């Protein structure tokens, strides 16, 4: 279910804050979410050059408690869970028997026996079914979807602008590390992690919904005049595409496996067994699978999801994501194409409204942040 | 200078329900999208229009305007022969956002039938339309 019983869209705790900021709201994952406040390009630029603030409270948050979580999750996912140390976050993918993806997720190990699992908003109900279908002793699951908030601050100045308000020492929090801390002047503990979906440095704050507006306003009050911008899902999608990060439903689906999505690094074939392992092994060994390629359009015409892709005049696949890439200053996209067409340097054609336009296969990602 | 009404709707132009504006000069019409349209679409990154000499029919979909996220049809507010297109939009599509009634114009049409302008909205009617939407 993506809506409540009446079919109405759900609202995050920050709904009124978004309206007060002039956000344009759209339905996403069963929630009414801000797609943009001022301009996708301005918000994108804020994140690349300064920092942006995102409400991601629509994402699914599950808590996993108990001594059995590591082994249980290792059987359902491609990456390693039990080997994670307290204070560590790790990207992972829940797979089906065919090696396709139920969802891509992040596990946060808060301490020895307490974990947070964050799933995509659009998959939150499906994922709750996936995890509760596999009961195990020593694993206690709780669904906090919609009950807790998630605020992300992303961009090079995130650490400077966030540090005054949290007790944790952010400089000592490494990329993909997490910690329990407090926002100063609030009572309840929150989880903070150095994770994100923009290709920039940044932090995600998992907190009780009751604290969301206070924290959001606190961060904007002082920092907005310096250039912290509230950012919507429109900018977020462009930022993640430039950074080469997959979006579930586009680069990865129940049919498109993590191997095809270019996520071999996350698949640990040395794990004794996990759901979909045999199918992924067979796909890897055969090697002839269609895969995600990064495309840059040569002209001004944007590629869009679903457009047909051709190699040497023959149909070779289709666009899965496409947008203007402001940091690349070109139209960029991903395409699921035959293996020969996916090679870097391949010259392909994308059919747009009946006309074929040239595109070049380039290395992923399109954008890498400058080294500090 | 164009005089503006409330909501920034310039006087002296005609409008369509699909949020295009038309500026008549004899039997040649200049066409663009309104400020309301550009604001709704967001950052414009591409405009695709018919070629010079093409014949188009009033209210047909004859091209697209694309924002960062979305593709939208252009429904031409007037029909006739294309006698000019704004080539500057290839390199500066953002001028549709910054100056929709000026540098952000789309194309010029030599009208095949002047009476078709009766199917368009006056500034007052268009202002009413966007006030209600």
What ipTM does the predicted assembly reach? 0.90
Q: Please name which of A14, A88, A74, A12 lies closest in space to residue A267, comparing C-alpha atoms.
A: A74
Q: Say which CATH class A10-58+146-242 falls into.
A: alpha beta
CATH number of B12-115: 2.40.50.100
**Nearest neighbour of B43 by CB, restricted to A39, A331, A353:** A39
Q: Would you state the pLDDT for residue A185?
A: 74
Please report which confidence band the pLDDT of residue B4 belongs to, taking 50, 70 and 90 as the band edges: low
CB spacing of B69 vs A41 below 8 angstroms: no
Q: Would you state the pLDDT for residue B1?
A: 44
Distance from CA of B93 to the nearest CA of A (A): 10
CATH number of A290-362: 2.40.30.110
CATH superfamily for A59-131+257-286 is Aminomethyltransferase beta-barrel domains (3.30.70.1400)
Structure tokens at B119: 């199917």
Q: Would you state the pLDDT for residue A6?
A: 56
Q: Would you state the pLDDT for residue A7?
A: 66
| Residues of A with Cβ-Cβ distance to B66 under 8 angstroms | 302
| Residues of B with Cβ-Cβ distance to A331 under 8 angstroms | 45-46
Q: Would you state the pLDDT for residue A221?
A: 94
Structure tokens at A227: 């250039």
| Residues of A with Cβ-Cβ distance to B67 under 8 angstroms | 40
Question: HEC string of B74-107?
Answer: EECCCCEEEEEECCHHHHCCCHHHHCCCCCCCCE
**Nearest neighbour of B90 by CB, restricted to A234, A300, A302:** A300
Q: Would you state the pLDDT for residue A312?
A: 97
Q: Would you state the pLDDT for residue A5?
A: 52
So where are chain A's domains?
10-58+146-242, 59-131+257-286, 290-362
Sign (positive/negative) of CA torsion A214, A215, A220, A221?
positive
Instruction: Report the C-alpha dihedral over residues A246, A107, A68, A264, rounded to 10 degrees.
Output: 30
Can you tell me the mean pLDDT for B2-14? 78
| Residues of A with Cβ-Cβ distance to B69 under 8 angstroms | 35, 40, 234, 237, 323
Give burial (CB, 10 Å; 0-12/13-18/19+) of A269. Answer: exposed
Rg (CA), chain A: 21
pLDDT in single tens digits along all 372 residues of chain A = 344 455 689 999 999 999 999 999 999 999 999 999 999 999 999 999 999 999 999 999 999 999 999 999 999 999 999 999 999 999 999 999 999 999 999 999 999 999 999 999 999 999 999 999 988 889 999 999 989 999 999 999 999 999 999 999 999 999 999 999 999 877 789 999 999 999 999 999 999 999 999 999 999 999 999 999 999 999 999 999 999 999 999 999 999 999 999 999 999 999 999 999 999 999 999 999 999 999 999 999 999 999 999 999 999 999 999 999 999 999 999 999 999 999 999 999 999 999 999 999 999 999 999 887
Mind listing the pLDDT tens digit for each residue in B36-57?
999 999 999 999 999 999 999 9
Distance (Å, whole) CA A125 – CA A112 = 27
CB spacing of B71 vs A300 below 8 angstroms: no
Chosen for mutation from B36, B41, B43 (greatest number of chain A CBs closer than 10 Å) is B43
Can you tell me the mean pLDDT for B85-107? 97
Q: Number of C-alpha atoms within 13 angstroms, CB side, residue B43?
A: 22
């Amino acid at each position: 279910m993506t809506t409540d019983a009446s079919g109405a869209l759900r609202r995050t705790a920050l709904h009124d804050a978004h309206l007060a900021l002039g956000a344009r709201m759209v339905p996403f994952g069963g929630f009414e979410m801000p797609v943009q406040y001022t301009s996708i390009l301005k918000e994108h630029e804020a994140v690349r050059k300064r920092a942006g603030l995102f409400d991601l409270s629509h994402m699914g948050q599950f808590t996993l408690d108990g001594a059995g979580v590591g082994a249980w999750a290792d059987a359902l996912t491609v990456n390693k869970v039990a080997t994670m140390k307290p204070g560590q976050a790790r990207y992972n993918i829940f797979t089906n028997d065919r090696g396709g993806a139920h969802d891509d997720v992040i596990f946060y190990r808060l301490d020895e026996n307490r974990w947070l699992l964050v799933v995509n908003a659009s998959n939150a109900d499906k994922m709750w079914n996936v995890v509760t279908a596999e009961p195990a002793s020593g694993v206690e699951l709780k669904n906090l979807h919609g009950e807790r908030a998630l605020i992300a601050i992303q961009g090079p100045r995130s650490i400077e602008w966030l540090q005054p308000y949290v007790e944790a020492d952010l400089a000592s929090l490494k990329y993909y590390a997490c910690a329990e801390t407090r926002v100063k002047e609030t009572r309840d503990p929150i989880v903070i992690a150095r994770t994100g979906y923009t290709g920039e440095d940044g932090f995600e704050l998992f907190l009780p919904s009751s604290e969301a507006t206070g924290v959001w306003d606190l961060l904007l009050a002082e920092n907005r005049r310096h250039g912290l911008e509230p950012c919507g899902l429109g900018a977020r999608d462009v930022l993640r595409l430039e950074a080469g990060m997959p979006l579930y439903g586009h680069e990865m689906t129940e049919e498109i496996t993590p191997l095809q999505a270019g996520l071999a690094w996350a698949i640990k074939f040395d794990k004794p067994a996990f759901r979909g392992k045999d199918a992924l092994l067979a796909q890897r060994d055969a090697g002839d699978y269609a895969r995600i390629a990064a495309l840059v359009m040569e002209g001004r015409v944007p590629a869009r999801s679903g457009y047909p892709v051709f190699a040497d005049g023959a149909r070779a696949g289709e666009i899965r994501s496409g947008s203007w890439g402001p940091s690349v200053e070109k139209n960029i996209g991903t395409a699921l194409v035959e293996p020969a067409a996916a090679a870097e340097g391949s010259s392909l054609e994308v059919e747009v409204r009946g006309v074929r336009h040239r595109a070049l296969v380039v290395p992923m990602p399109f954008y890498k942040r400058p080294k500090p | 200078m164009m005089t503006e009404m409330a909501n920034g709707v310039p006087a002296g132009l005609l409008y369509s329900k699909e949020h295009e504006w038309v500026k008549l000069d004899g039997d040649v019409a200049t066409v663009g999208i309104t400020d309301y349209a550009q604001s709704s679409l967001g950052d414009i990154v591409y405009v695709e229009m018919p070629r010079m000499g093409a014949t188009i029919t009033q209210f047909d979909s004859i091209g697209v305007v694309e924002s960062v996220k979305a593709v939208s049809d252009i429904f031409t507010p007037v029909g006739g022969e294309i006698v000019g297109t704004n080539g500057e939009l290839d390199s500066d599509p953002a001028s549709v956002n910054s100056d929709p009634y000026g540098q952000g114009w789309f194309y010029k049409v030599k009208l095949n039938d002047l009476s078709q302008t009766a199917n368009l909205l006056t500034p007052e009617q268009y202002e009413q339309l966007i006030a209600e939407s």
